[in-house]
């Protein structure tokens, strides 16, 4: 075989560290090409970076046929050149085309919708590749954090029989036996079941919500990092949350400084993320909103607009605690000192981003849980096993759910959640 597939390949990022005059071979995809008289410039990309290669006569003939996105192997001599992106280029003397590319359908003025229709190809863009590298760091950091702090990773079912977060956003699925089941909105109830043996548990899994409104921060299938802790209350989980978010942001700054810069992210805003985060009550939040001209009736949850106004006023993440009972799901424990509010807290990302975490203390007494299920107009029999947990050695416990895609959106500083994930699922899109 004449093809130099496996041996002697240098990752493109490494070429920039190699001395001038050294012979190297790189492989990747044609990112850009430009013909200048006898010379052809071919910019090649691989997963590590991009580099310019220059073909002089007599190689030009072969290089001439190579279109954008063709996969190629190129050898040549490394040379410094101030005009080349990154300061180095390869004077090429060998090119092998592995897979020819037809005319690539993506042009500069492609519309957002068109790019989403051909997402299987548009995910190759530098911008999306950069975001996905940061996403990778963020997911690794979540696992790292929980493992370092003594949590067990567990895996919960996606097919379930009753709503966690309210019926309005449930996806129905026809099950094998003809019955109707649902796609899970959160793994919380299963995590709660697992604390009686493992005490501190976490999971990262998809959650599904039939969100009817089109917003910049809702997916119908999103990635959810959830944790549940036995023997814990609201203050304990708030502390865990701020340590977790700080750890993730620091890891990203460490690993992806270049990528954040490429995306134009304001680095100072991220460097400012360290404990303690701000803590304001729901009532204080209402006051701030009112001063800014937003009147929210007491008892209502905040929408995207309110959260944007609110979090633009903060330079680090902010907790809002003590949400009214009716603004939060039935499983939240009510505050014993003020029963009309719950021991819950949302964590909002600053700079206008808004909610990234929802969490709180759970009801640990069977009687209280049944009463609240009824108050919410739900049927206790739909939650039988969940209620059952309160009968056998119940303990105070608390937990939270972090929307991973929203977290990626804030850390990368992008304006729409669809670009945080390779193949977004939204109200209008399940293809490709």
Q: Residue 186 half-sphere exposure, CB side, CA atoms within 13 Å?
A: 23
Rule CB under 6 A: say whether 359 interacts with ligand NSS.
yes
What are the tokens at 82? Answer: 């101030």
Rule CB under 6 A: say whether 403 interacts with ligand NSS.
yes
Among 401, 410, 412, 421, binds ligand NSS (CB under 6 A): 401
- Asked if the peptide bond before residue 432 counts as cis, ω within 30 degrees of 0, the response is yes
Among 286, 318, 356, 363, binds ligand NSS (CB under 6 A): 356
Rule CB under 6 A: say whether 424 interacts with ligand NSS.
no
CB of 344 to ligand NSS, least distance (A): 9
CB of 340 to ligand NSS, least distance (A): 20
Beta bridge partners of 171: 183
Strand order across the beta sheet in which 180-183 lies: 159-160, 180-183, 171-174
CB of 79 to ligand NSS, least distance (A): 47
Q: Burial, 196: exposed, middle or buried (Cβ in 10 Å; 0-12, 13-18, 19+)? A: middle
Rule CB under 6 A: say whether 211 interacts with ligand NSS.
yes
Residue 399 contacts residue 344 (beta carbons within 8 Å):
no
Q: Burial, 177: exposed, middle or buried (Cβ in 10 Å; 0-12, 13-18, 19+)? A: exposed
Stretch that binds ligand NSS, among 110-118, 245-253, 304-312, 357-365 (CB under 6 A): 357-365
Among 49, 350, 358, 424, binds ligand NSS (CB under 6 A): 358
CB of 325 to ligand NSS, least distance (A): 15
Among 92, 400, 409, 411, binds ligand NSS (CB under 6 A): 400
The 152-191 contact track toward ligand NSS, x by CB under 6 A, reads ------------xx--------------------x-x---
Rule CB under 6 A: say whether 406 interacts with ligand NSS.
yes
Rule CB under 6 A: say whether 226 interacts with ligand NSS.
yes
Residue 320 contacts residue 306 (beta carbons within 8 Å):
no
CB of 358 to ligand NSS, least distance (A): 2
Tell me how many residues contact ligand NSS (CB under 6 A).
22
Rule CB under 6 A: say whether 405 interacts with ligand NSS.
yes
**Chain center to CA of 33:** 33
Rule CB under 6 A: say whether 333 interacts with ligand NSS.
no
Q: Which residues touch 276 (CB under 8 Å, ≥6 apart)?
A: 242
State how far the alpha carbon of 54 is from the alpha carbons of 16, 40, 48, 383, in Å. Answer: 15, 6, 20, 67
What are the tokens at 371? Answer: 């009463």
Rule CB under 6 A: say whether 420 interacts with ligand NSS.
no
State how far the alpha carbon of 23 is from the alpha carbons of 46, 57, 118, in Å. Answer: 18, 18, 37
In the complex, which residues of this chain contact ligand NSS (CB under 6 A)?
164-165, 186, 188, 209, 211, 218-219, 222, 224, 226, 355-359, 399-401, 403, 405-406
């Amino acid at each position: 075989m004449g093809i130099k597939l496996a041996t002697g390949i240098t990752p493109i990022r490494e070429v920039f560290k190699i001395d001038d005059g050294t012979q190297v071979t790189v492989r990747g995809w044609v990112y850009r090409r430009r013909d200048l008289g006898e010379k052809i410039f071919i910019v090649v990309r691989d997963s590590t970076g991009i580099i310019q290669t220059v073909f002089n006569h007599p190689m030009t003939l072969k290089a001439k046929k190579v279109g954008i996105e063709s996969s190629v192997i190129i050898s040549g001599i490394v040379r410094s050149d101030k005009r080349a992106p990154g300061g180095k280029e390869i004077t090429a003397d060998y090119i092998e085309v592995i897979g020819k590319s037809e005319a690539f359908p993506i042009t500069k003025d492609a519309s957002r919708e068109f790019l989403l229709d051909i997402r299987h190809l548009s995910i190759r863009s530098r911008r999306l590749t950069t975001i996905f590298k940061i996403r990778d760091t963020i997911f690794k950091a979540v696992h790292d954090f929980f493992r370092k702090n003594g949590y067990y990773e567990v895996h919960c079912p996606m097919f379930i029989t009753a709503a966690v977060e309210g019926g309005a956003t449930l996806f129905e699925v026809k099950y094998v036996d003809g019955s109707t089941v649902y796609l899970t909105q959160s793994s919380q109830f299963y995590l709660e079941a697992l604390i009686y043996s493992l005490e501190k548990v976490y999971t990262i899994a998809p959650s599904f919500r039939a969100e009817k409104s089109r917003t910049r921060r809702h997916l119908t299938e999103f990635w959810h990092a959830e944790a549940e802790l036995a023997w814990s209350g609201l203050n304990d989980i708030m502390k865990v949350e701020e340590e977790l978010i700080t750890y993730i942001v620091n890891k990203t700054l460490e690993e992806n400084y270049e990528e954040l810069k490429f995306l134009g992210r304001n680095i100072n805003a991220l460097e400012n993320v360290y404990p303690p985060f701000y803590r304001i009550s729901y009532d204080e939040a209402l006051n701030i909103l009112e001063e800014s001209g937003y009147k929210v009736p007491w008892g209502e949850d905040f929408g995207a607009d309110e959260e944007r106004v609110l979090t633009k006023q903060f330079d680090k993440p902010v907790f809002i605690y003590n949400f009214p009972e009716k603004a939060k799901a039935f499983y939240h424990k009510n505050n014993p000192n003020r029963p009309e509010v719950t021991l819950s807290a949302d964590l909002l990302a600053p700079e206008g981003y808004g909610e990234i975490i929802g969490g709180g203390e759970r009801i640990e007494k069977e009687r209280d849980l049944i009463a609240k299920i009824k108050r919410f107009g739900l049927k206790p029999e739909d939650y039988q096993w969940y209620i059952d947990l309160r009968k056998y050695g119940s303990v105070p416990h608390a937990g939270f759910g972090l929307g991973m895609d929203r977290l990626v959106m804030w850390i990368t500083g992008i304006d729409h959640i669809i670009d945080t994930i390779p193949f977004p699922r939204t109200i209008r899109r399940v293809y490709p």
